Amino acid sequence: MRQWWLLAWTIACFGVGILAGVLRLARLPYGTALGILVLFAAIILLAFGWWRDMRESRRQAKWNERRLKIVALGGGTGLSTILRGLKEFQVDLTAVVTVADDGGSSGRLRNEFAMPPPGDIRNCLVAMADTEPLLERLLQFRFPSGEGLEGHSFGNLFLAAMTHIMGDFESAIRETSRVLAVRGQVLPAVKEDVRLRAYLTNGMVVEGESNIPEAGGEVERLELVAEHLEPLPEVLRAIAAADAIVVGPGSLFTSILPNLIVPGMVEAIRASKARKIYVCNVMTQPGETDELSASSHVKAIYRHVGEELFDYVLVNAAPLPEEALQQYQSQQSYPVRVDIEELNRMGLKVVARDFVHYATYARHDSRKIAEQIVSLLGYERDRRRG
């Protein structure tokens, strides 16, 4: 639009110059009329430029209203994988991250500084950030040695420092997001200090997210332990406005369900008009989802939060290379069995295709998953219009 304004102002100045006699054209026959004519043309161009700007502003406002709003819930590497793909699309993206982690660097910082665990938050910030590769490597750098530093991630320490500077964890995340030029927002599921407690089918009660996979029993029920437990208002607002709510992939009992069992969270998801999409894991997790099929993953969620929460389930239908299968078998991990008929009987729309990317580990291909999610939203939007 700038060229229109520049041209109009140039012509306007030229017209004024004519009328003022700067170019001595006013002494010519019809000089005054020529100046007025030029000024009139300038006014027309200015009006046209203003009209085009207004039209573009309205068009941009409508586009912003139409931008897909996506909320992704989870934790660990699974959520960050989804976020890396979705941030490449023109969507308003919100990540809701579990804060029940109590192991490793996050657990140490949590205990020493009485702050929520920063590890999963850090992974999501890095995944959504528009930063130089070197800065990403810096934030993910883990100190190999050093008194008090060994095992700590630099990004975790950065968030711990920001929490002390800003006074609270939410402000620290917000300012870190600004520094990293994060495309969207990252929110903890709750701001309180929470602990995860699991009741196993063998009668054992295990407390602590990191202890549950080591207990060696099947999880019957989970609960969050905290003095005051409620979701952040920002999380509820994002869910209410969402076009899609994506749950998973990630550790079923230690990353996915800790978000969903926050009081009020599932009620907000059910009330939202968003498409609810569950992204099922590619591999089983030893000590947590041994021998669970895709439908068993969904049933475990429904057992905690009630049935018919999801509209779609995305499952990987591509075989893994033999090298990958052997690697995972040595760790007692196997591909999740995709029982499409049972998923259909549960009222789910199943999208089964090649979603996997294998390098060192078998993980979801972030681009393929993101394209599928956006495609489903476009389909639903077109169908609602029809």
Question: Tokens at residue 101, please?
Answer: 């982690």
Check whether residue 47 and residue 78 sit in a common domain: no
End-to-end CA distance of the chain: 35
* Count of residues in the chain: 386
- Using a 10 angstrom Cβ sphere, with 0-12 exposed, 13-18 middle and 19 or more buried, the burial of residue 287 is middle
CA dist., res. 62 & res. 284, Å (int): 44
Check whether residue 11 and residue 87 sit in a common domain: no
Task: Choose the final residue of a domain: 18, 48, 63.
Answer: 63
307 in a domain, yes or no?
yes
140 in a domain, yes or no?
no
Cα dist. 385→30, 242, 381, 382 in Å? Answer: 60, 17, 6, 5
Check whether residue 56 and residue 72 sit in a common domain: no
**What's the pLDDT score for residue 198?**
96
Check whether residue 317 and residue 342 sit in a common domain: yes
Nearest to 231 by CA among 202, 183, 272: 272
CA dist., res. 162 & res. 171, Å (int): 8
**What's the pLDDT score for residue 26?**
44
Task: Choose the final residue of a domain: 38, 63, 88.
Answer: 63
CA dist., res. 299 & res. 182, Å (int): 34
Is the preceding peptide bond at 249 cis, omega within 30 degrees of 0? yes
Check whether residue 40 and residue 75 sit in a common domain: no
Check whether residue 209 and residue 267 sit in a common domain: yes
Task: Choose the final residue of a domain: 47, 63, 79.
Answer: 63
- Per the structure, the count of domains in the chain is 2
SS3 assignment for 238-287:
HHHHCCEEEECCCCHHHHHHHHHCCCCHHHHHHHCCCEEEEECCCECCCC
Check whether residue 320 and residue 304 sit in a common domain: yes
Helix (H, G, I), strand (E, B) or coil at 339: coil
The H or E element that residue 109 is part of is helix 104-113
**What's the pLDDT score for residue 360?**
73
Which residue shows structure tokens 């079923």? 252
148 in a domain, yes or no?
no
Nearest to 125 by CA among 162, 166, 173, 82: 173
Check whether residue 83 and residue 40 sit in a common domain: no
**What's the pLDDT score for residue 12?**
52
283 in a domain, yes or no?
yes
109 in a domain, yes or no?
no
Q: What is the CATH number of the domain that holds 317?
A: 3.40.50.10680
Check whether residue 23 and residue 74 sit in a common domain: no
Check whether residue 93 and residue 240 sit in a common domain: yes
306 in a domain, yes or no?
yes
Range of the domain at 343: 68-98+189-385
**What's the pLDDT score for residue 162?**
94
Contacting residues for 41 by C-beta, under 8 A, at least 6 apart: 11, 15
Check whether residue 21 and residue 90 sit in a common domain: no
- Using a 10 angstrom Cβ sphere, with 0-12 exposed, 13-18 middle and 19 or more buried, the burial of residue 34 is middle
CA dist., res. 251 & res. 120, Å (int): 12
Q: Residue 231's CB: how many other CB atoms inside 10 A?
A: 21
**What's the pLDDT score for residue 346?**
97
182 in a domain, yes or no?
no
**What's the pLDDT score for residue 57?**
66
135 in a domain, yes or no?
no
**What's the pLDDT score for residue 382?**
46
The residue ranges of the chain whose pLDDT is under 70 are 1-50, 52-53, 56-57, 59-66, 132, 379-386
pTM (2 d.p.): 0.81
Check whether residue 27 and residue 43 sit in a common domain: yes
**What's the pLDDT score for residue 228?**
82
